[in-house]
Amino acid sequence: MAKGIWVIIEHHDGEVRKVSLEILSKCREIADKTGDPLVAVIPGKDVAALADSVAAYGADKVILVDDAKLEGYTTGAYTSALSKVAKKEEPAAIIIGNTAIGKDLAPRLAQRLGAGMASDAVGMEHDDANFLSFKRPIYGGKAFATVSATSKPVVATIRPNALSLGEADAGRKAEVVNEAAEIDADDLKAIVKEVALVASARPELIEANAIISGGRGMKGPEHFAILEACADTIGAAVGASRAAVDAGFIEEKFQVGQTGKTVSPTLYIACGISGAIQHLAGMGSSKVIVAINKDPEAHIFTLADYGIVGDLFEIVPLLTEEFKKLS
Amino acid sequence: MNIVVTLKQTFDTEANIVLKDGKIDATGVNMVMNPYDEFAVEEALKLREKDGGEVVIVCMGGADSEKAVRTALAMGADRAVLINDPALDASDEWVRAEVLAKAIKDIPFDLLLAGRIAVDDQSSQVAVRVAEVLGMPSVTSILKLDVDGGKATVTREIDGGTETIEVPLPAMLTAQKGLNEPRYPTMPGIMKAKKKEMKTVTLADLGLNAADFAPKMTAPVYSLPEARKAGVVIAGEEPIDAVKKLVKLLHEEAKVV
Ligand SMILES: Cc1cc2nc3c(=O)[nH]c(=O)nc-3n(C[C@H](O)[C@H](O)[C@H](O)COP(=O)(O)OP(=O)(O)OC[C@H]3O[C@@H](n4cnc5c(N)ncnc54)[C@H](O)[C@@H]3O)c2cc1C
Ligand SMILES: Nc1ncnc2c1ncn2[C@@H]1O[C@H](COP(=O)(O)O)[C@@H](O)[C@H]1O
């Protein structure tokens, strides 16, 4: 009988990613109810040192899948290695963050295991009928679908920042086991030739606690410096509307919305953004939305929690100064 | 080089979502090709223009999906297969992938292109699952593609940057915004599309039996989000006063800074 909740742990530079800890925190609550063991599965190379931090967030057991071939993520090697351990251990659920890696891996793994999957869930609960149910935004956040699986395991990806992070308990200990990574040659056809990471002191958009975004109202690429200065005072990431991207003010990867990133920060500050439905699709689940716009009729004011009607070129630098005073 | 593009018809991104009898109501909604599939079609057409071959569209959906399929044909795709079977109304991503893979298997191809995500169900699963069924590598969220001598070199988006991957063909690639600028169908293109082959097939035509495809996920229970309401709008004040007021609210009321 399939048993146990697996959380696949993502890590970067020797640290567990926040979204993995958010998932562990929620799954700890669920596991306490169902009696399932909570298992943190850590793929990678030299990952043993991460066991303590996942134990602190509630893992009962840690499975290290340690192999040089798993040092950098590739779809094939990760699917091969993790699917084999999953077939052996038969977990009831396999959960991972809806990150670049999670989005790529989860459907491939689900199909190999013949499993159903819930993508980009913002909520998960224990469900008497089908073990776990997942609530996920559809149609750009204009509706939700709640789904569960009719068989086990169920695979799911969870949106970063959607679940709250629990308290770490450094005293908690977990059983740690090693599983060999068995990787089929057939799964190694795609070869990573180059990884180009852009060093940035700012947080990753999808995981940021706060985001300051600029739209067409920014008028030109040179003005994004004022948003960056403001962002840095509160540790925020910088984002943009599609109009700002299409006008060449800022790179595509910063776009928030239906055809850009989906974000769920605690604080989203929209500067010179009108609030089009496709922009909303990417940031509508933010906890607190602030709008700075010179047009009092701008649609964004109908949904922002706080707003200033004014010229962003005046407001944003002042905001930077006031934020500085807070810290 | 022969290319298969999977595409899906979706609601226009402007559409309001209304529930009727617990279902998403499509009445009066403008239907369009899934925006990410437009990138896939465009990329396929560019490759064909360079290397020749055939671009075949595969779509699963009701008879109304013909609209999106004809758009792809009008953009320049050569022919299309529409899988239309009422038994698929209650499908999940696993079912859709198994059935699409079966239809695609019968078409000779070197490359399979799809969208990164369908903007209606937002699953981002079907294309990758198809690749797994067909036993070929998948690369998702691609921003750049070069095909040369039986292999593809792609740049894909990752958290914090990009990576370049080399993959032998056949392979399945999913398109991210930024890959290209999709063309609009021209008037002659639209006229020509009317004469292009569009074959509608059922599960039985594909040699499949609906009973073998019980979904692995339950039927979705739909709900609507609580509408966000207008909050405090500070207007008509000196900028410095407005900002001080805002920061005080963010700090003391919302407690987010
Ligand atoms: C299929 C599809 C997908 C899309 N995907 C996305 C997406 O992912 N993300 C996205 O953002 N959009 C997307 N869009 C585009 C979307 O419809 C809007 O066109 C876009 O969001 C508008 O961007 P904006 O608010 O920056 O520009 P505008 O709508 O032009 O608004 C600019 C705002 O700036 C204000 N302003 C100007 N100057 C100042 C100033 N000095 N100070 C203060 N305020 C000022 C103006 O009052 C105005 O409200 C998509 C559209 C389609 C059809
Ligand atoms: N019904 C369908 N018919 C054809 N292709 C589909 C269908 N559903 C999904 N796809 C393809 O898979 C991609 C991802 O879809 P989804 O997994 O639904 O987000 C889409 O961009 C399409 O290319």
The stretch B20-32 carries a mean pLDDT of: 96
**Averaged pLDDT for residues A225-251:** 98
Which residues of chain A make contact with B239, given a CB cutoff of 8 A? 310-311, 314-315, 318
Give the closest-approach CA distance of B86 to chain A in angstroms.
21
Phi, psi of A106 (to 5 degrees): -60, -45
Q: Residue whose CA is closest, atom 48 of ligand 1?
A: A274
Minimal-distance CA residue of chain B relative to A105: B128
> From the CA of B10, how far away is ligand 2's center (Å)?
10
For position B113, what pLDDT does the model report? 98
Residues B136 and B196 in one domain: yes
Confidence of residue A284 (pLDDT cuts 50, 70, 90): very high
- Which ligand minimizes its atom distance to the CA of A295? 1
Are residues B27 and B142 both part of a single domain?
yes
Give me the percent of chain B exceeding a pLDDT of 90. 98
pLDDT band at B242 (very low <50, low <70, confident <90, very high): very high
Q: Specify the pLDDT at position B39.
A: 98
- What size, in residues, is chain B? 257
- Helical (H) or strand (E) element with A62: strand A61-66
Q: How far is Cα A82 from Cα A65, in angstroms, rounded to an integer? A: 8
**Is residue B222 in some structural domain?**
no
Ligand 2, CB cutoff 6 Å, lining residues: B 6-8, 34, 36-37, 58-61, 93, 96, 100, 114-115, 117-118, 121, 123-127
Distance CA B122, CA B99 (A): 19
The CATH number covering residue B28 comes to: 3.40.50.620
Do B153 and B251 lie in one domain? The reply is no
- Show residues of chain B in contact with A193, CB under 8 Å: 153, 163-166
Which residues of chain B does A318 touch, with a Cβ-Cβ cutoff of 8 Å?
A: 239-240, 243
Instruction: Read off the pLDDT band of A314 (50, 70, 90).
Output: very high
Biggest alpha carbon distance in chain A? Answer: 63
Q: What percent of chain A has pLDDT over 70?
A: 100
- Tell me if A93 is assigned to some domain: yes
A157, A187, A217 - which closes a domain: A187
Question: Please, which residues 62-101 of chain B have a Cβ atom closer than 8 Å to chain A?
Answer: 92-94, 97
pLDDT at residue B247 above 80? yes
Say if residue A215's pLDDT is above 90: yes
Reply yes or no on whether the pLDDT at B145 is more than 80.
yes
The string of DSSP letters for B13-74 reads TT----EETTEE--TTPPEEE-HHHHHHHHHHHHHHHHH---EEEEEES-GGGHHHHHHHHH
How many CB atoms are located within 10 Å of the residue B20 CB?
A: 9
> What is the edge-to-edge ordering of all strands in the sheet holding B151-158?
A191-197, B161-168, B151-158, B138-148, B171-175, B111-115, B3-6, B55-60, B79-83, B198-201
d(CA A1, CA A17): 31
ipTM: 0.96
Number of domains chain A contains: 2
pLDDT score recorded for residue B104: 98
Q: What pLDDT is recorded for position A71? A: 96
pLDDT value of residue A327 = 79
Please give the tally of structural domains in chain B: 2
pLDDT in tens, A15-68: 999 999 999 999 999 999 999 999 999 999 999 999 999 999 999 999 999 999
Q: Which domain holds residue A159?
A: 5-187
Same domain, A114 and A250: no
C-alpha to C-alpha distance for B250 and A288, rounded to whole angstroms: 9
| Ligand nearest, relative to CA of residue B34 | 2
Look at residue A297 and give its three-state secondary structure.
coil
Q: Residue A249 forms beta bridges with which residues?
A: none
Of B160, B235, B247, Cβ closest to residue A204:
B160
Distance CA A110, CA A151 (A): 12
Task: Categorize the per-residue pLDDT at A2 as very low, low, confident or very high, splitting at 50, 70 and 90.
Answer: confident
Contacts of A7 (CB under 8 A, 6+ apart): A20, A23, A24, A27, A38, A39, A40, A41, A54, A59, A95, A96
In this structure, is residue A194 part of a structural domain? no
How many whole angstroms separate alpha carbon A74 and alpha carbon A43?
Answer: 11
Side chain identity at residue B48, one-letter code: R
Q: Is A237 helix (H, G, I), strand (E, B) or coil?
A: strand
Which tens digits make up the pLDDT trace of B35-61? Answer: 999 999 999 999 999 999 999 999 999
Query: Which tokens hold the place of A223?
Result: 């003005």
**Beta carbons of A149 and B218 less than 8 Å apart:** yes
CB contact under 8 A, B233 and A142: no
- B209-236 pLDDT, tens digit per residue, is 999 999 999 999 999 999 899 999 999 9
| Mean pLDDT score, B65-90 | 97
DSSP string covering A247-273? TTSS-GGGBBSTTSB----SEEEEES-
Element (H, E) at B223: strand B221-223
Partner-chain residue, chosen from B126, B235, B254, that has the shortest CB–CB distance to A309: B235
Judge whether residue A317 has pLDDT over 80: yes
B61-76: per-residue pLDDT in tens? Answer: 999 999 999 999 999 9
pLDDT tens string A139-173: 999 999 999 999 999 999 999 999 999 999 999 99
Q: Cβ B125–A119 below 8 Å, yes or no?
A: yes
**B77 lies in some domain:** yes
In a domain, B201, yes or no: yes
**Hey, what's the torsion of the CAs at A219, B232, B237, A222, to 10 degrees?**
-20
Confidence band (pLDDT; 50, 70, 90) for B237?
very high
Residue B165 has pLDDT above 80, yes or no: yes
Q: Which domain holds residue B11?
A: 2-212
Read off the pLDDT of each residue in A219-224 and give the average, rounded to a whole number. Answer: 98
Q: What confidence tens digit (pLDDT) does each residue in A257-283 have?
A: 999 999 999 999 999 999 999 999 999
Residues B88 and B169 in one domain: yes
Q: Which pLDDT value is given to residue A199?
A: 85
Mean pLDDT of chain B: 97
Same domain, A146 and A220: no
Instruction: Give CA–CA dist B14/B119, Å, rounded.
Output: 11
Q: Are residues A28 and A93 in the same domain?
A: yes
CA pair distance A237, B30, nearest whole angstrom: 35
Residue B57 located in a structural domain: yes
Flag if A111 and B121 touch (Cβ within 8 Å): no
Q: Where does the pLDDT of residue B124 fall: very low under 50, low under 70, confident under 90, or very high at 90 and above?
A: very high
**A259 with A133, same domain?**
no
Please name the amino acid found at residue B27: T
Q: What share of chain B is helix, strand, coil (3-state, %, to 5)?
A: 30, 30, 40
Where residue B97 falls among pLDDT bands split at 50, 70, 90? Answer: very high
Whether A156 and A69 share a structural domain? yes
> Secondary structure of B156-218 in the HEC alphabet?
EEECCEEEEEEEECCEEEEECCCCCCCCCCCHHHHHHHCCCCEEEECCCCCCCCHHHCCCCEC
Residue A193 in domain: no
